[in-house]
Chain A
């Protein structure tokens, strides 16, 4: 057993932490949020220059060959700074799918530019009716000469507005909820017949709806075998969940820090409000949630890159469930302990609270993962 970071991991953490601290003050984040891209292209470029965009990719493809723990270190710091860049969606989730399902030619063509941070990817898996179920796919891909024709709609594609290439799940055969018959396609953002409606999400990053109206893609744009994408979609969602849990930890730590500072400085009834036992215990409860969420994020990071198994799925579902609950508790209590000031846009705490609550609306909410765990429950 060893919960220590290696020297290299320590340095990686220091680098990301300093980078975020220097570039992502709350005022700067506001500017990035209000910019056209909705994030900082300069910061993204810097992630590329420092090699950080290559961390989750195998060395064989020119990546750093980082472990889940390396991704955890990066995501935690990005979470602490409430960073708006689609690192999770592009490098971990979509990048993982490309690496897992892509053929030799696709990898050779795309991975170097993705690893360098020059091409952003996004995953378009959710649909208006799918409610986190990866196999609820109604978007259709029909075989045509030399390729496929896609029709349908993809919902709430985070980072989809800035991605050059979108990974779109579509049904090549079967019915709306069949597990078989789901394929994954690379769709160029400029493809004819593809339209996007872009909007900000309530916790900051931009997203879009994707409307596919007879979008033609070539044979070379199918990732993996036709109809066989679901296991990879599930596996890579697990990696994305681990990264999301790590991001949440950074945000929770910051929310707890800000709240503790406030309890020590805010005076009412002639004393710092942190002297009131009711509030002390609430702060202890927040800290306790964080204390239990952190090891679950570490657990998720450690199993994220393991071979697929029921045990891996169980642990990732458990991590997500625990962290969605902890995130909501910490968000709500942090606001409550702050009072009105915790609800104001100009204070970073409010944005951490939004981030922590909205975690549950991406990659499955607590109920979704509770059901998943219950399905896999060992009963003997």
Chain B
């Protein structure tokens, strides 16, 4: 047993740290730390910097422009990025649709889409959930009817994160309504500028526009845009979900948030409150437990194992811990959690804060982060997975 990184891994970490110190824009890091909103340009700037270093597509094979890193290296990279306040990568392109294209796509699809993801020309969003298909994703109803060398797509997707920035969407659509739910689904790549697509914002309780509804009204999509075989889309979806579930625990972001919490508590003069100290200590200990747990699973994966339903456990506990930290941060700022200062949260804000630079974000962020236990398979669905796959119940 050795819970420490190897010398090579430590060296790699230093390399990552040097890069982040030199390249991560300070204004973006500050917005991330303070829980403020990020603009599209913030994300793109950071992506370009990573891509210039060859580190944007950490999960891709080297031949397509990836890093070829081990799982431990990827973990180190993610953790260091979070610690330095780098924005979480918008995963829909680089870490969701790209692995599916690499695994199931045609050579033409790979040649066409992968370079555009790397250099930021394409911003992808995800067309999975529907008003009637949330946790029960396989009940989706968006139809794609074959018409010559096109599909005609009609239906509605929802909770489409940052769809307002996207020029492309990957969708699960029903191509065989007669088949069993999982069997009649296909995976389509759709250009958002195709006639018949409408995007409507959904404003969340924190006043933010992060998610959307996307409507399809007889949208013509070339058959060549289908990934994998017709009616085999569920296979792609499942493969993608395993990718979505790596880094589920969010150790890096939670550690960064915890460090920020302590700084704010100190600045508010609250660190001498034993009750508060105890609550911070409690969440720190839980984070420690889940971190070692993550390393153990990584080590198994490094040795050639496939991460299984354990990632569901990481997602449940990881989201709970991140939410607990956001709860404490909100509490620490006391009455100053109340002012709803949308202008202070915007990327362009340069004025003097009402109270302190850290006080506008916590309440909005606390409410926004309720999503962690809902999206990507709610925590209840994760528990079903654990119950079935690990406990065999």
Q: Using a CB–CB distance below 8 Å, which chain A residues touch chain B?
A: 126, 128-129, 131-132, 155-156, 158, 197, 199-203, 207, 209, 267-270, 276, 278-279, 328, 332, 335-336, 339-340, 342-346, 350-351, 353-354, 357-358, 360-362, 365, 367, 370-371
A156 surroundings in chain B (CB, below 8 A): 335-336, 338-339
Main secondary structure of the interface of A (DSSP, over half): mixed
B129 surroundings in chain A (CB, below 8 A): 340
B276 surroundings in chain A (CB, below 8 A): 367
Query: What mask results when residues 47 to 65 of chain B are scored 1 for a CB within 8 Å of chain A, else 0?
Result: 0000000000000000000
Task: Report the minimal beta-carbon distance from B8 to chain A, rounded to whole angstroms.
Answer: 42
B134 surroundings in chain A (CB, below 8 A): 268, 339-340
Main secondary structure of the interface of B (DSSP, over half): mixed
Q: Which residue of A lies closest to B334 (CB)?
A: A131
B355 surroundings in chain A (CB, below 8 A): 128, 155
The CA-CA distance from A354 to B205 in the complex, in Å, is: 8
Most B CB within 10 A of own CB, among A269, A345, A353: A345
Which stretch (B20-28, B70-78, B250-258, B368-376) binds chain A?
B368-376
Known A-B contacts A344-B202, A357-B366, A358-B363; the reply to A203 vs B338 at CB < 8 A is yes
Q: Does B175 contact A (CB under 8 A)?
A: no
Query: Is there contact, CB below 8 Å, between A370 and B370?
Result: no
Of B139, B205, B336, B375, the residue contacting A268 (CB under 8 A) is B139
Task: Report the minimal beta-carbon distance from B174 to chain A, rounded to whole angstroms.
Answer: 16
Query: Is there contact, CB below 8 Å, between A202 and B269?
Result: no
Of A129, A202, A353, A371, the residue contacting B340 (CB under 8 A) is A202
Q: Does B218 contact A (CB under 8 A)?
A: no
Q: Does B159 contact A (CB under 8 A)?
A: yes
Q: Which residue of A lies closest to B340 (CB)?
A: A202
Query: Is there contact, CB below 8 Å, between A365 and B139?
Result: no
Task: Report the minimal beta-carbon distance from B352 to chain A, rounded to whole angstroms.
Answer: 11
Task: Report the minimal beta-carbon distance from B140 to chain A, rounded to whole angstroms.
Answer: 12
Q: Using a CB–CB distance below 8 Å, which chain B residues touch chain A?
A: 129, 132-136, 139, 158-159, 202-207, 211, 268-270, 273, 275-276, 279, 327, 330-331, 334-341, 354-355, 363-364, 366-367, 370-371, 373-375, 378-380, 383
Most B CB within 10 A of own CB, among A132, A209, A357: A357
Q: Which residue of B lies closest to A205 (CB)?
A: B338
Task: Report the minimal beta-carbon distance from B343 to chain A, rounded to whole angstroms.
Answer: 10
Query: Is there contact, CB below 8 Å, between A340 and B374?
Result: yes
Query: Is there contact, CB below 8 Å, between A279 and B380?
Result: yes
Query: Is there contact, CB below 8 Å, between B334 and A132?
Result: yes
Of B132, B139, B203, B378, the residue contacting A344 (CB under 8 A) is B203
Task: Report the minimal beta-carbon distance from A306 to chain B, rounded to whole angstroms.
Answer: 27
Give me 13 A-to-B residue pairs in the complex whose CB atoms sit less than 8 angstroms apart, sorted by A's number.
A128-B336, A132-B334, A155-B336, A202-B363, A268-B134, A268-B136, A269-B139, A336-B379, A339-B374, A339-B378, A350-B205, A360-B331, A367-B279
The CA-CA distance from A103 to B375 in the complex, in Å, is: 59
Of B202, B275, B335, B371, the residue contacting A155 (CB under 8 A) is B335
Query: Is there contact, CB below 8 Å, between A346 and B203?
Result: yes
The CA-CA distance from A201 to B204 in the complex, in Å, is: 16
Q: Which residue of B lies closest to A268 (CB)?
A: B136
Query: Is there contact, CB below 8 Å, between B373 and A201?
Result: no
Query: Is there contact, CB below 8 Å, between B211 and A345?
Result: no
Query: Is there contact, CB below 8 Å, between B205 and A353?
Result: yes
Query: Is there contact, CB below 8 Å, between A343 and B354?
Result: no
The CA-CA distance from A250 to B135 in the complex, in Å, is: 30
